[in-house]
Amino acid sequence: MHGTTRRLVAAALLALAGGTAAASDYVGARRCKSCHVAEYEHWKQTPHAQATARLTEAQRRDRRCTVCHATSAEDGLYGVQCESCHGPGRHYWPENVMKDAELAKAVGLLQGTEPAACDRCHTAETPRVTPFDRKKALEKVRHRPAEKG
Ligand code: HEC
Ligand code: HEC
Ligand code: HEC
Ligand code: HEC
């Protein structure tokens, strides 16, 4: 128990220090699905889920593309998955952490509504006719639009 607490504190400090995530900090959408089936089923229908599949085979191996068109190509996590918006899940996915909103946030969970959840990929350079409007875009990606009105 003590060891776990210490690890979590260490992870929190790492997160606060602004350490960037190693590839292995991603656990993959299937892990999230085990507790969040509705969000998973919704996400599966969005263009984000197909963001790698739409590329050509050569582009799928090109890190200059997969850095935005995959969650972690190095880990075989294709498509813009949960963790691309909600942060790498290694430290927050266990249930005892997930149930503690403060702790989950401290070890990397993003709500999805923060600018940082989108801006890394939706930059001024990404191909678009009109500039990316995050507020409007959020309406398209949130999982329960009707309920949250
Ligand atoms: C073992 C079960 C479990 C797993 C696995 C899990 N979660 Fe959760 N998650 C929860 C619980 C419990 C909550 C608390 C809120 C609730 O009861 O729905 C939660 C809450 C959340 C929230 C809402 C946080 C907030 O403050 O509104 C997000 C976002 C989230 N999880 C994303 C994820 C992502 C992304 C993954 C995969 C990396 C994941 N979860 C894996 C159980 C889980
Ligand atoms: C900085 C992040 C980023 C990088 C790097 C990037 N893309 Fe994208 N790409 C995006 C985003 C974001 C969109 C969606 C634009 C929108 O609709 O707002 C997009 C859209 C696309 C689309 C259009 C998808 C569609 O059908 O709607 C294609 C094709 C594409 N990118 C190919 C590539 C290729 C090939 C590379 C590598 C050479 C690449 N991208 C690199 C972020 C990126
Ligand atoms: C493109 C970004 C994006 C992706 C990808 C994404 N989410 Fe979310 N998620 C959001 C946003 C934004 C919210 C906040 C919605 C709101 O407050 O209305 C959210 C909210 C949530 C919540 C809180 C409860 C709810 O339904 O609003 C959970 C749980 C969650 N996401 C889980 C997941 C899981 C699991 C996946 C992958 C299967 C996933 N998300 C993929 C952006 C994303
Ligand atoms: C890891 C990079 C990445 C992140 C993070 C990301 N996106 Fe995207 N997004 C993409 C790519 C790539 C596409 C193009 C997908 C395709 O069409 O193949 C895209 C497409 C979209 C689209 C166009 C498809 C549609 O439904 O109209 C919207 C809207 C969008 N993203 C909103 C968001 C929002 C809002 C966030 C933050 C909550 C976000 N994205 C976070 C990479 C990302």
Residues 12/97, Cβ–Cβ less than 8 Å: no
What pLDDT score does 109 carry? 98
- Cα separation of 48 and 84, whole Å? 10
Among the bound ligands, name the one nearest to the CA of residue 69.
4
Decide if 74 contacts 60 (C-beta within 8 A): no
Q: What is the pLDDT of residues 22-63, one digit of tens each?
A: 658 999 999 999 999 999 999 999 999 999 999 999 999 999
Angle at 139 between CA 112 and CA 64, to 5 degrees: 60
Closest listed ligand to the CA of 70: 4
CB of 47 closer than 6 A to ligand 4?
Answer: yes
- pLDDT for residue 72 is more than 70: yes
Residues 54-88: b if buried by 16+ CB within 10 A, e if exposed: ebeeeebeeeebbeebbbbbeeebbbbbbbbbbbb
Asked if residue 102 has its Cβ within 6 Å of ligand 1, the reply is: no
Place 10 in a pLDDT band, splitting at 50, 70 and 90. Answer: very low
100-144 pLDDT, tens digit per residue, is: 999 999 999 999 999 999 999 998 777 677 889 999 999 999 997
For the range 36-43, what are the long-range contacts, defined as Cβ-Cβ under 8 Å and sequence gap of 24 or more? 36/82, 38/143, 38/144, 39/82, 39/143, 40/82, 42/143, 42/144, 43/81, 43/82, 43/143
- Say if CB 137 and CB 115 are below 8 A apart: no
Among 35, 114, 126, 143, residue to substitute to test ligand 3 (most atoms within 8 Å of Cβ): 143
